[in-house]
């Protein structure tokens, strides 16, 4: 029997959240990917798991605790990286393993949350609450407005950091802003794709769009199209076939990436 | 009444020293760049030319000494749009970066616009004007990575010009570019200097070309070994052979 996806409130909420996430992720992703920062998305995702664990433990909305954890860590990572006391990727490793360890310990204290945990790890359209939608929309608005405000500075720094500095752009502050926005984006994406696959959402549509070799503006548009299609298709497919939403979305993105790569060869 | 063009000091470098750890890269360098000058900074590999340029641009902080841009200490300098910068790009360039020629040159306008200001039709017009100046307008929609080294360099010059600077710094702009393209490139620089009265500071290892093109030459080898007119530099160089085994000097006619 075929169920009508639009009859279900949770499915509609998932679609709403999915559209928001699909729009935001590539906007941040293009700057992270081009600056070889892709792994920051993954690291912040693991940090967000620790945040989720804290939320679960104290009974607070996990999206909010994840947001706090990722924002603080993103600034910590940037600080460690620019201090040059630790190599960039070592800074990421410290945060990645440290937060995962913290999450595991916290979750072992709060026993009985294991079923819920799977939803946070891999994403599930059932977990999206109306409250989540409200938080996600607010965060998304902040991300979009901030990106628009610093769009030209971000492009310049991403393309040529040194020349951007010589032209008087406050590179350090803008880098910090990008990190905080990445933290926001990761937190927004948790309910839909889950902690473990957030990085894929931020990175894959951009990498696929880059294969098309277009202008910066067109590359963003292509990444947006790939992202929106994959997320919506992933939600619908996972709904009808009872699959994990996050995994389905990421697999669809990878198929598109593969197709684009082969076509452009 | 006759107008008198009083020479104006644009850049003052006083007793600059710089070290990486215990290794002294530069010691006691002083330079003086005036409006309309065309200064060539030459020196063998590892002589500290690029370090000196980065100190002048405030990208590196000297251990001691002073840099003043337009009469202001570099650490307090705010009028960055007055300065154009063409970095050493050809060698360390991400050829897959998704950005068109036009988008690159528009970056030059960002400094003029400042934070929170969108670029305008006026900026578009200026981008067209500078791209026509460097004869790259027809390539405006191509990706920067798809151009030849010489074309890329012209685009970076256009980006520097788009900020409407009074002085342009160029770091080894002809690295990896064939001789014929280089000649065209130097005649473009000559035009900018002679016709638009832009002040130029050019780092190069091509002493032959610098001696022919620049108005002044500063020869650096961790310290300032020779500073003056090209003819003086050529005389000094043939006597001391600082570029031992390096580039050969051929005498050229000066036309300025």
A217–B103 C-beta distance less than 8 A: yes
pLDDT at B241: 67
Give the span between the Cα atoms of A233 and A239, in whole angstroms.
10
What sign has the CA pseudo-torsion A203, A204, A210, A215?
negative
- Ranges of chain B whose pLDDT falls below 70: 1-7, 89-93, 241-256
- Of A23, A28, A24, A31, nearest to A156 (Cα)? A31
- Of A153, A195, A200, nearest to A177 (Cα)? A153
Give the span between the Cα atoms of A245 and A120, in whole angstroms.
11
B11 touches chain A (CB under 8 A): no
A219–B104 C-beta distance less than 8 A: no
Which among B84, B107, B142 is the top mutation candidate for probing chain A, defined by the most A β-carbons within 10 Å of its own β-carbon? Answer: B107
Q: How many CB atoms lie within 10 A of CB B28?
A: 13
DSSP B100: B
Q: Mind listing the pLDDT tens digit for each residue in A4-43?
A: 777 777 788 888 888 999 999 999 999 999 988 888 888 9
Q: Where are the domains of chain A?
A: 7-264
Average pLDDT value for chain A: 87
Which among A29, A84, A166 is the top mutation candidate for probing chain B, defined by the most B β-carbons within 10 Å of its own β-carbon? Answer: A166
Q: Which residues of B touch A168 (CB under 8 A)?
A: 78, 80-81, 111
The residues facing B23 across adjacent strands are: B20
**N-terminal to C-terminal alpha carbon distance within chain A:** 42
- Of A77, A45, A53, nearest to A185 (Cα)? A45
A155 touches chain B (CB under 8 A): yes
Quote the Cα angle for A147-A151-A156, to 5°: 140
**Residue A195 in tokens:** 């902690």
pLDDT at B6: 52
Task: Give the side-chain half-sphere CA count within 13 A for B24.
Answer: 11
Give the span between the Cα atoms of A250 and A165, in whole angstroms.
37
Sheet holding B23-34, edge to edge: B23-34, B9-20, B64-69, B72-73
- pLDDT(A115) > 80: no
Backbone angles phi, psi at B40, to 5 degrees: -100, 125
Quote the Cα angle for B154-B80-B70, to 5°: 110
**N-terminal to C-terminal alpha carbon distance within chain B:** 26
B143–A155 C-beta distance less than 8 A: no
Q: Mind listing the pLDDT tens digit for each residue in A148-157?
A: 999 999 999 9
CATH code for A7-264? 1.10.3470.10
**Residue A173 in tokens:** 């502050």
Q: Mind listing the pLDDT tens digit for each residue in A216-260?
A: 999 999 999 999 999 999 989 988 898 888 889 999 999 999 999
| ipTM topping 0.90 | no
pLDDT at B161: 92
Domain B9-240 has CATH 3.10.400.10: no
């Amino acid at each position: 029997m075929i169920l009508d996806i639009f009859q279900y409130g949770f499915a509609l909420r998932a679609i709403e959240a999915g559209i928001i996430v699909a729009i935001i992720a590539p906007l941040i992703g293009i700057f992270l990917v081009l600056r070889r920062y892709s792994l920051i998305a993954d690291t912040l995702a693991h940090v967000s798991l620790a945040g989720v664990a804290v939320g679960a433990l104290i009974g607070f909305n996990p999206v909010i605790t994840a947001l706090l954890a990722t924002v603080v860590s993103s600034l910590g990572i940037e600080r460690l990286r620019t201090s040059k006391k630790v190599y960039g990727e070592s800074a990421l490793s410290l945060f990645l393993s440290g937060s995962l360890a913290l999450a595991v310990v916290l979750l072992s204290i709060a026993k009985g949350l294991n079923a819920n945990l799977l939803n946070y790890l891999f994403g599930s359209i059932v977990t999206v609450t109306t409250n989540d939608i409200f938080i996600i929309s607010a965060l998304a608005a902040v991300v979009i407005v901030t990106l628009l405000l610093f769009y030209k500075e971000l492009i310049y720094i991403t393309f040529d950091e040194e020349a951007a500095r010589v032209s008087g752009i406050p590179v350090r502050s803008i880098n910090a802003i990008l990190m905080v926005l990445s933290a926001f984006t990761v937190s927004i994406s948790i309910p839909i794709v889950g902690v473990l696959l957030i990085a894929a959402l931020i990175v894959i549509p951009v990498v696929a769009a880059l294969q098309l070799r277009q202008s910066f503006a067109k590359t963003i548009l292509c990444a947006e199209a790939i992202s929106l299609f994959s997320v919506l298709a992933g939600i619908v497919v996972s709904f009808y076939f009872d699959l994990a939403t996050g995994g389905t979305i990421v697999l669809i993105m990878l198929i598109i990436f593969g197709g684009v790569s082969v076509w452009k060869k | 009444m006759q107008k008198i063009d009083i020479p104006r000091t644009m850049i003052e470098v006083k007793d600059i020293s710089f070290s990486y750890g215990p290794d002294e890269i530069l010691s006691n360098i002083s330079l003086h760049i005036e409006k309309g000058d065309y200064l060539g900074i030459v020196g063998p590999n590892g002589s500290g030319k690029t370090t000196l340029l980065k100190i002048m641009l405030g990208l590196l902080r000297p251990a001691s000494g002073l840099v003043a841009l337009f009469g202001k200490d570099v650490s307090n300098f705010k009028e960055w749009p007055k300065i154009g910068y063409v970095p050493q790009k050809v060698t360390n360039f991400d050829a897959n970066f998704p950005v068109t020629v036009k988008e690159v040159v528009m970056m030059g306008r960002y400094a003029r616009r400042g934070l929170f200001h969108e670029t305008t039709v006026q900026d578009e017009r200026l981008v067209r004007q500078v791209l026509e100046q460097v004869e790259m307008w027809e390539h405006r929609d191509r990706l920067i990575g798809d151009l030849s080294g010489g074309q890329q360099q012209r685009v970076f010059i256009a980006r520097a010009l788009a900020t409407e600077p009074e002085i342009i710094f160029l770091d080894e702009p002809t690295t990896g570019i064939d001789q014929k393209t280089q000649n065209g490139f130097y005649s473009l620089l000559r035009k900018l200097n002679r016709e638009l009265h832009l002040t130029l500071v050019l780092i190069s290892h091509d002493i032959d070309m610098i001696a022919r093109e620049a108005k002044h030459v500063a020869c650096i080898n961790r310290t300032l070994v020779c500073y003056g007119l090209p003819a003086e530099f050529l005389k000094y160089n043939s006597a001391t052979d600082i570029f031992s085994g390096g580039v050969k000097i051929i005498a050229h006619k000066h036309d300025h």
